[in-house]
């Protein structure tokens, strides 16, 4: 049985999805201030590796746990919702199926408590 990582198209697909997600975040005034001063190339690599891992691809994420990464940022439900909306749209731009997009969003949603530090 193929993994979600494989269904999406592996590493090249995740790189395209993350690039599209970052474009959307950059123009979203409710989110872009969280990334001010962030090395976006480094963030891109971390996010691609992280998504690879949670989508059952290669385990290459070496960053901090989600609760530590987002500690002190005061992220709220509306920020999480905006990111998941942008992720869904980024996947649609790439032509991912509704089923695979839903599966991806479910995996991300499972981390909401850690991301929002709640």
Report the CATH number at residue 38: 1.10.490.10
Whether the predicted pLDDT of 1 surpasses 80? no
Number of domains comprising the chain: 1
Look up the domain containing 15 and give its range: 4-115
Give 73's contacts (C-beta < 8 A, 6+ positions apart). Answer: 34
Q: Average pLDDT of 50-59?
A: 96
Give pLDDT, residue 9: 96
- Tell me which residue has tokens 């494989």: 6
Whether the predicted pLDDT of 55 surpasses 90? yes
Half-sphere exposure at residue 32, Cβ-oriented, CA atoms within 13 angstroms: 8
- Is 22 assigned to a binding site? no
Tally of residues, the chain = 118
- Is 46 assigned to a binding site? yes
Whether the predicted pLDDT of 7 surpasses 90? yes
In 3D, which of 92, 75, 78, 82 has the Cα closest to residue 34? 75
Give pLDDT, residue 117: 85
């Amino acid at each position: 049985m193929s993994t979600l990582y494989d269904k999406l198209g592996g590493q090249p697909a995740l790189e395209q999805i993350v690039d599209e997600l970052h474009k959307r975040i950059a123009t979203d005034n409710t989110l872009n201030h969280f990334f001010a001063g962030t090395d976006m190339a480094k963030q891109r690599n971390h996010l691609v590796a992280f998504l690879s891992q949670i989508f059952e691809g290669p385990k290459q994420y070496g960053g901090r746990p989600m609760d530590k990464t987002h500690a002190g940022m005061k992220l709220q439900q509306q920020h999480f919702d905006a990111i998941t909306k942008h992720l869904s749209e980024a996947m649609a731009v790439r032509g991912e199926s509704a089923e695979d997009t839903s599966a991806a969003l479910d995996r991300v949603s499972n981390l909401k408590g850690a991301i929002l530090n709640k």
